[in-house]
Amino acid sequence: MNERTVGIVFLFLGMTLFGSATPISKLVGEGFPVFTASTLRVALGALSLLPFVALRFRENLRELSGRAWLEIGLISLFGMVGFTVFLILGMQYITGVAGSIIMSTTPAITALGAFLFLRSPLDWRRILAIVSGVAGIVLINLFRHEFDDPDSPYFFLGVVLVFLAISCEATYTLMGKKATETLDPLFTSFMACLLSLPLFLIIALFTDFQKVDFGAVPWESWYALIWWGVGTLGAGSAFWYSGLARAEGTTAAGFMSVMALSALVLSYVLLGESFQPIHAPGIVLVLASISLMSWVHMTSHGRQDS
C-alpha cells in the first residue's frame, strides 16, 4: 500500500472514529456533566497515546521549536477546548436543526482555510466533492432532529457561537496540517491532548465537577467515556493527523463529511434511531464525495510524481 492510499485510509478512519463521538457523547452525558467528562476524555486520550510516544518523547520535546509550540497550543486552545465550549454554549440558544445546518459547513470552511492559508489546491473537482459532502451532511442531519421552537431571544448569538465552534474545528485541522509537516503525528496528538487537559480541568472545577457523584455513575457511561477518550480522541486524532501528513489540506477537508456518516450509522446501532428514507440520498452524496476526493488525491499526486 503506497503513501497516497495510506493517507486516504487514515483520513477515513480518523473521521469515522470522530463520528462515533456523537452517539457516544450522549451515552456519556447520561452519567457525567459536560466539562468533567471532557476533562476525563482528554486525560484518557493522552494516556492512550503515551505508550506510542514514550520512547522518543524527550527527543521530540527537545526538537519542538517556538513555532511548533504555538501550533500545538492553538490546536489545544481552539481545536479542543474552544470547539467544545462554543458548541455547548451555542446549542443552548438554537435548535438542533439550525445547529446541524451550520455544522454541515465545516468541510467547506476548512477547505477555504486550507486554500487561503496553506495554499492547498482547490480546483473544480475538489469543490464538487466538498459541495456534495456538505449537501449529504445537510440531508443526513436535517431529519435527525425535531423541529422544535426556534424563537429564542438569543438565536443569533447561538448562531455566532456555533460558527465559532466550526471555525475552531477548522483550526484543529489546519494547525494539525502545519504541525505534522515537521512533527510526528502521534506526538502532535499526544501534546495537544496534554496541553488541553489543564484548560478543561480549570473549566470543570469552576462549573460542574462538584455535581458529580462518581459512585452513582452507571457502568455504561464509564464504558462510553473510555471509548470517547481512547477511541474518538486518542485513536481518532492519531489517524487523522497521520492522514493529514500525507494529503493536501483541501483533500482532508473533503473527508470531514465521513464524520456525519459515521455518526448516523452508529446512532442506528447504539441509540436505536430509526432509518429515514431521506437519509439514503444523503449517504449516497457523502459516499460520492469521498470517492471523488479519493480519486482526485490519487490522480493529482500521480501527475505531480510523474
DSSP per-residue letters across 147-174: ------TTHHHHHHHHHHHHHHHHHHHH
Confidence of residue 141 (pLDDT cuts 50, 70, 90): confident
Element (H or E) spanning 251, and its range? Answer: helix 249-254
Q: Give whole-number Cα distances, 248 to 26, 39, 56, in Å.
A: 33, 31, 27
Task: Please report the pLDDT score of residue 299 as a whole number.
Answer: 86
Is the pLDDT assigned to residue 106 strictly greater than 80?
A: yes
Please, what's the b/e burial string for 145-158 (b: 16 or more CB within 10 A of its CB; e: otherwise)?
Answer: eeeeeeeeeeeeeb
- DSSP code of residue 275: P
Is the pLDDT assigned to residue 228 strictly greater than 50?
A: yes
Contact 268, 204 (CB under 8 A): no
- The backbone torsions φ and ψ at residue 30, rounded to the nearest 5 degrees and listed phi first, read -75, -15
Is the pLDDT assigned to residue 292 strictly greater than 60?
A: yes
Is the pLDDT assigned to residue 229 strictly greater than 50?
A: yes
Residues 6+ apart with CB under 8 A from 1: 9
How far is the C-alpha of 276 from the C-alpha of 98, rounded, in Å? 19
Task: Please report the pLDDT score of residue 147 as a whole number.
Answer: 46
Of the chain, the percentage scoring pLDDT greater than 90 comes to 75
Confidence of residue 306 (pLDDT cuts 50, 70, 90): very low
How far is the C-alpha of 225 from the C-alpha of 112, rounded, in Å? 33
Q: Where are the domains of the chain?
A: 3-305
281, three cell numbers: 440520498
Is the pLDDT assigned to residue 27 strictly greater than 70?
A: yes
Note if the pTM is more than 0.75.
yes
Amino acid at 50: L
Amino acid at 64: L
Average pLDDT over residues 16-31: 92
How far is the C-alpha of 216 from the C-alpha of 170, rounded, in Å? 37
How far is the C-alpha of 200 from the C-alpha of 280, rounded, in Å? 38
Element (H or E) spanning 85, and its range? Answer: helix 83-90
Per-residue pLDDT of 57-71, as tens digits, reads: 999 999 899 999 999
